[in-house]
Structure 1
Amino acid sequence: MKLRTLFTLILLLYSAAFSVPAFAVSSIDFKLTGVSGDIEDNIDSYLSTIAVPKGNNYSFFESKVRKNIVDSIQVFGFYTPEITLNLTLDDDELLVFIDIKLGQRVKLANVNIQIDGEAADDPMFLTLLSTKPLISGANLSHQNYDKFKADITKLAIERGYFDGKWLKSEVRVSVKKHRADIDLIFDSKERYVFGESVLSNQTKSASIISELATFKEGQEFESNLVSEYSLALFNSRYFQSASVAPDLNARKDGQVPIIITVINHPSNTYEVGVGYLSDVGVRGSLGWKKPWINNRGDSISADFEYSTVQQELTLNYDIPIEDPITNIAKIQLGFQRKDNQDTDSKLFTLQLQRQFELESKWLRTWFIKVEQEDFTQGSQVGSSLMILPGVSFARTKQRGGVDPYWGNQQLFSVETASKYWGADTDMLKVQSRTKYLRSIDRTHFFTGRFDLGAIYVDEIESVPASMRFFAGGSQSIRGYDYETVTPTDDAGAYIGGRYLTVGSLEYGYQFAEKWRIGIFADAGTSTNDFSEPVSVGVGTGIRWLTPIGPVKLDFAVPVKSDTDNKYTFHLYIGPEM
């Protein structure tokens, strides 16, 4: 026993002294040749899941690498690749050199795709089948197969074939012949229709919810109508949250009930805003809204805006007609006090509106305004009563939420006054504002704005001060004080113009996730006879992108100005569109 123990000890010492030591590997670097593009990316994805080998046992590691490569390549229809591996240690990093010869690609031979049940005649399924990527003679792609199968399943759910099932779905590959056969047979069963819509919670808004419905009981199911219904409820200003969903567990007799859940907005909501502009000083706003007055859905709101040159109070009473989002009547009362430069005005307004969204998504508003104004404009002191029927069209389209990267905004309005119905003068006023926003790679932003207006009247002095055109300021021509670009009388006092032409071009560059810098040029005029030179302002600004919209700080200078101002700056918060 002593001799055997001694022999074992000697053997252990010999093994420790002369065996190859195990190197600890801390990282792996795979270097691929022979492939590129999507195939290389997919191989990299598969290899990234392989753990660092432990000890000297590289045989298992190599087999794992080969298996992952084969699996990643077969997705694209390559079943007979040649793979060469070379492993090298560089300190504690394992370098794995891999050369791949893809070999011959498997082609599709027999492709059998069949839709049974009511979906066989569904136009949406016929369209999907007409665009199928699985065609005899094409290269085998398991990605295309999986996606097309998933598209059929998804479309079945979207179209109400809730009992549909796959009778057969398989890919049979002959590696020897480099060919594959596909069988996809789907039985859609019957198509469900909308059943009863059920409110999951008690709410006084039942009539509003019913009016906003995008489908009727007994209508064939479409998931996009469910989504539109949910969005309509959310956008209706009545609900803090809203969801519409089919109750699949309760479906029977070809009908699926719809569960509607809403949470009303608080009884009263408030909004506060503040800003500063060098031409008008501190600006503030306070808004109040009571979204529910009665079960019909009437609402009331009030807005107060203050600056050193203008104060305005507006009360609104909204009455839903058929659709509380796109079809409403509005009663509006307003008071405006302005004391700016050579303008001193007090304006009282009563306005009746009828708003309706057209199929083209334009919001059309018929209105009639009664305005009583006492004003001093330059050396003119006047008082007027205007009864102004008119119509406006407005549309805003954008992508990107509170910080859009693409958008269009248009507003056109026409209003008229006549002595025949009690106004102090005969007049026609037309006005438009158009704004475009485009971006490249969401890094370079280009914005264009154009404001046009005209008042057709014998004498501009017969038009009250609040209706005349003035330019200049943060929303007009930056670099000029608020409403200082306008005709003047013989004493040099501002009198306002009958025509307005203003344009703006701006370029923005996003240099950080939440920061953007911009340069801009604004130009235009307010005039009575176009004898005045065009006023031009240029400048630069910084934008801080926040969840409530960009915070914008602009510095602008007039290219040529008769005033003593050398620059203006504007700080404000709000969306681009």
Structure 2
Amino acid sequence: MIRKAILIIASLIVFSQSAYADVSLKIKGLDGALEDNVTAYLSSIPEKDYSTSLRFQARLEKSITEALNALGYYHAKISYTSTKENDELIVNVDPGKPIRVKTMDVVISGEAKTDEEFINLIAKSPLKVGRVLNQGEYDSLKSGIRNLALQRGYFNGDFTLHRLEVIPELNQAIVRLHYDSGIRYHFGGLDIIGSQIWEERVASLSPFKTGQPYLVSEVGEYNQNLSNTDWFSSVFVEPDLSKLKDGRELPIKVSLAPAAKNQIETGIGYSTDMGVRGTLKWKKPWVSARGHSFNTALSLSKPEQTIIAGYKIPMDDVLREYYQVQFGLKHLDNRDTESLESNLAFGRYWLSDNGWHTVLYVRHLYENFSQGLQDDGVQFVLPGTTLSRTRTRGGNMPMWGDKQSVTIEYGDPALLSETRVLRLLGGTSWIRSLGENNRGLFRLEGGANITDELEKLPPSLRFFAGGDNSIRGYGFESISPKDASGALTGAKYMLASTLEYQYRVYGNWWGAVFYDIGDAFNKTPIWQSGAGVGVRWASPVGPVSIDFAWGLDAEPDPEFRIHFSLGPEL
């Protein structure tokens, strides 16, 4: 007896080891959506559990049946075969005839009965009479009705009947969805809490008026508008659902917390052009209850030191229209240029619906300078206008984007300017991609000073080329005509272009190759070209770029430059 028991136990161990040895699984008889859904269901079973045992086959059959039922197949036949070595289990599946929708009993009652959005939602649902039943489509239509009701202010809505009836014997399904929406609520008054800004200013940012039908998208837009002012550290806009019984108009709660009155930002960078660069920004996002703001920026490098201060006065359309007064001082000591300039500007700003920014301004420029052999001090009063737009898609290192800008300025002795000049500046940049791993960047910029007395223009109004934002491979503003001593003078015209290709190497890291060409000239350009390679990193705080560039036409020998930058490409 003992020997017989030992033999039985040994045989069970051998069978167990055989049944649970490494086994692969193969499904036959399915394709398309059926195969995909079965694969998705079976993915929840760890491969270590695969075997040829009856217990595992029962587990497989349960999962496969559930996957097929979800897509309307209730008559599946499943059989199993395995290889002699028991290393592969073959599952043969005949899905059988599908269940088809016989009846669509979808009824919307209440005020949503005539709402076009509900009518369109039901019309666009793929769940139709005669179609093979898909339980996911039923669930989607059911949740779609409920979500649409909440989005459009039917807060008392509910299903009075929701049932999916399946009759496998007849291969039929009946969909029953009865939804009573009740009334549609409207926007009520604003209940503004915690604002340090005048309530009328806060209310003016609302895209809706009291009495309009409720839309959750407009609540979200109001929330975004308030956030974009920079007046608040937190913004929360929501309907007051505790007042559902008080009438059709639903109060809107606006909970706000003031932003810090003083905000400091620092930065540091390096390039072979400018050396170490440091920045310090001080911002007061709100100065008074009117919503005025103040900001300053200090930038220091060896050749250039700049300080700018601006005061912003929003108008009734806070985000789209405002005035700004700005004052700046800049000292430049670079190559053959040394200057100290002051700018005082007053501008009127507009933002249009299509994204174009328009500025009308007048600025007073006084500049004391030494440019090559010339020493002078001049002033200009320059009225002007700028039109610009930037569009991007796809995060801080977009896969699509473009930027355009045009600026026109005019100076005249009758307007207290040193000489008559018409200044034209423009630029365009484009980013396009092919697939997920290829990006291209094209940039073209130019400028012109239409004047008969270039020598009366200060360096800040003349044109120079070269540097990390121009023709890489050349020193910062090292390209321009020269005077009799060989010193740079600045130019009447400038034209420069960039063509760059980037390839994703790994994750957020890209490699780049580029070619730059351009010149700053008075009559005929002598094109200066540069080329190089670079590395791009889409960091959490913005694109980081390192470029290794060669000035191909530099004399007497090609130049080599390294550029490092942090910030958007457009």
TM-score with structure 1 length normalisation?
Answer: 0.91
SS of the residue aligned with 2:350? strand
| Counterpart-to-counterpart distance in 1, 2:233 and 2:442 | 35
| Counterpart-to-counterpart distance in 1, 2:82 and 2:465 | 74
Shift of 1:494: 1.8
Residue of structure 1 in register with 2:165 after alignment? 172
1:76-106 superposed Cα distances (whole Å, 9 cap, x missing partner): 2222222222356979xx7432122223333
Residue of structure 2 in register with 1:492 after alignment? 486
Shift of 1:335: 0.6
Residue of structure 1 in register with 2:441 after alignment? 447
Residue of structure 2 in register with 1:329 after alignment? 323
Of stretches 433-442 and 538-547 in structure 1, the one that deviates more from structure 2 is 433-442
Residue of structure 2 in register with 1:68 after alignment? 63
Of stretches 540-549 and 41-50 in structure 1, the one that deviates more from structure 2 is 41-50
Shift of 1:215: 1.7
Q: Does 1:427 align with 2:421?
A: yes
1:245-286 superposed Cα distances (whole Å, 9 cap, x missing partner): 223243231233322223322221111111111122221211
Residue of structure 2 in register with 1:547 after alignment? 540
| Counterpart-to-counterpart distance in 1, 2:42 and 2:423 | 70
| Counterpart-to-counterpart distance in 2, 1:55 and 1:229 | 55
| Counterpart-to-counterpart distance in 2, 1:310 and 1:52 | 65
| Counterpart-to-counterpart distance in 2, 1:520 and 1:99 | 57
Residue of structure 1 in register with 2:145 after alignment? 152
Mark the CA change 1:53 to 1:422 in structure 2 (over 3 Å): closer, same or farther.
closer
| Counterpart-to-counterpart distance in 2, 1:378 and 1:86 | 91
Residue of structure 2 in register with 1:289 after alignment? 283
Mark the CA change 1:70 to 1:324 in structure 2 (over 3 Å): closer, same or farther.
same
Task: Give the partner amino acid of 1:432.
Answer: G
Shift of 1:225: 0.7
Q: Does 1:226 align with 2:229?
A: no
Shift of 1:200: 4.3
Residue of structure 2 in register with 1:261 after alignment? 255
| Counterpart-to-counterpart distance in 2, 1:301 and 1:334 | 12
Of stretches 106-115 and 19-28 in structure 1, the one that deviates more from structure 2 is 19-28
**Could you tell me whether the CA contact under 8 Å between 1:487 and 1:495 is conserved in 2?**
yes
Residue of structure 2 in register with 1:464 after alignment? 458
Q: Does 1:394 align with 2:391?
A: no
1:128-170 superposed Cα distances (whole Å, 9 cap, x missing partner): 3342322333332222222222222221111111111223333
Shift of 1:498: 2.1
1:198 to 176, 191, 213: 191
| Counterpart-to-counterpart distance in 2, 1:405 and 1:397 | 11
Shift of 1:182: 2.5
| Counterpart-to-counterpart distance in 2, 1:368 and 1:412 | 16
How many residue pairs match? The answer is 567
Q: Does 1:30 align with 2:30?
A: no
Of stretches 506-515 and 165-174 in structure 1, the one that deviates more from structure 2 is 165-174
Shift of 1:448: 1.4
| Counterpart-to-counterpart distance in 2, 1:36 and 1:161 | 42
**Could you tell me whether the CA contact under 8 Å between 1:23 and 1:55 is conserved in 2?**
no
Of stretches 500-509 and 136-145 in structure 1, the one that deviates more from structure 2 is 136-145
**Could you tell me whether the CA contact under 8 Å between 1:26 and 1:52 is conserved in 2?**
no
1:202-217 to structure 2, matched below 5 A, reads 203-204=196-197, 206-217=199-210
| Counterpart-to-counterpart distance in 2, 1:224 and 1:89 | 63
Shift of 1:54: 8.9
Mark the CA change 1:371 to 1:53 in structure 2 (over 3 Å): closer, same or farther.
closer
Q: Does 1:273 align with 2:273?
A: no
Residue of structure 2 in register with 1:340 after alignment? 334
1:157-194 superposed Cα distances (whole Å, 9 cap, x missing partner): 11111111223333333334433332333222111111
Residue of structure 1 in register with 2:119 after alignment? 126
| Counterpart-to-counterpart distance in 2, 1:57 and 1:101 | 20
SS of the residue aligned with 2:555? coil
| Counterpart-to-counterpart distance in 2, 1:169 and 1:549 | 49
Mark the CA change 1:16 to 1:103 in structure 2 (over 3 Å): closer, same or farther.
closer
| Counterpart-to-counterpart distance in 1, 2:511 and 2:198 | 46
Residue of structure 1 in register with 2:99 after alignment? 106
**Could you tell me whether the CA contact under 8 Å between 1:399 and 1:406 is conserved in 2?**
yes
Shift of 1:354: 1.4
1:54-80 superposed Cα distances (whole Å, 9 cap, x missing partner): 999943432231121111012222222
Residue of structure 2 in register with 1:538 after alignment? 531
SS of the residue aligned with 2:273? coil
Q: Does 1:503 align with 2:497?
A: yes
Of stretches 13-22 and 452-461 in structure 1, the one that deviates more from structure 2 is 13-22
1:20-64 superposed Cα distances (whole Å, 9 cap, x missing partner): 645253876432122234332321222233478999994343223
Q: Does 1:313 align with 2:307?
A: yes
Task: Give the partner amino acid of 2:215.
Answer: E
**Could you tell me whether the CA contact under 8 Å between 2:281 and 2:296 is conserved in 1?**
yes
Mark the CA change 1:456 to 1:127 in structure 2 (over 3 Å): closer, same or farther.
farther
- What runs of 5+ residues in structure 2 fail to find an aligned partner? none
Shift of 1:519: 0.8
Of stretches 330-339 and 13-22 in structure 1, the one that deviates more from structure 2 is 13-22
Mark the CA change 1:343 to 1:494 in structure 2 (over 3 Å): closer, same or farther.
same
SS of the residue aligned with 1:231? helix
Mark the CA change 1:489 to 1:130 in structure 2 (over 3 Å): closer, same or farther.
farther
RMSD: 2.6
| Counterpart-to-counterpart distance in 2, 1:20 and 1:510 | 54
Task: Give the partner amino acid of 1:431.
Answer: L
**Could you tell me whether the CA contact under 8 Å between 1:554 and 1:569 is conserved in 2?**
yes
Residue of structure 2 in register with 1:4 after alignment? none
Shift of 1:546: 2.0
Q: Does 1:237 align with 2:209?
A: no
TM-score with structure 2 length normalisation?
Answer: 0.92
Task: Give the partner amino acid of 2:233.
Answer: Q
Residue of structure 2 in register with 1:3 after alignment? none
2:475 to 468, 478, 481: 481
Task: Give the partner amino acid of 2:208.
Answer: F
**Could you tell me whether the CA contact under 8 Å between 1:22 and 1:56 is conserved in 2?**
no
Residue of structure 2 in register with 1:373 after alignment? 367
Mark the CA change 1:53 to 1:446 in structure 2 (over 3 Å): closer, same or farther.
closer
| Counterpart-to-counterpart distance in 2, 1:51 and 1:341 | 69
2:432 to 438, 463, 466: 438
1:396-436 superposed Cα distances (whole Å, 9 cap, x missing partner): 22223333232222222212122232222222212122222
Of stretches 536-545 and 169-178 in structure 1, the one that deviates more from structure 2 is 169-178
SS of the residue aligned with 1:230? helix
Mark the CA change 1:387 to 1:108 in structure 2 (over 3 Å): closer, same or farther.
same
Of stretches 144-153 and 277-286 in structure 1, the one that deviates more from structure 2 is 144-153
1:49 to 44, 47, 52: 44
Q: Does 1:404 align with 2:398?
A: yes
**Could you tell me whether the CA contact under 8 Å between 2:22 and 2:50 is conserved in 1?**
no
| Counterpart-to-counterpart distance in 2, 1:322 and 1:90 | 81
Task: Give the partner amino acid of 1:38.
Answer: A
Shift of 1:395: 1.8
| Counterpart-to-counterpart distance in 2, 1:237 and 1:192 | 31
Residue of structure 1 in register with 2:344 after alignment? 350
**Could you tell me whether the CA contact under 8 Å between 1:314 and 1:333 is conserved in 2?**
yes
Q: Does 1:84 align with 2:106?
A: no
| Counterpart-to-counterpart distance in 2, 1:64 and 1:55 | 10
Shift of 1:234: 1.5
| Counterpart-to-counterpart distance in 2, 1:565 and 1:370 | 40
| Counterpart-to-counterpart distance in 2, 1:449 and 1:19 | 76
Shift of 1:289: 0.7
Shift of 1:14: 6.4
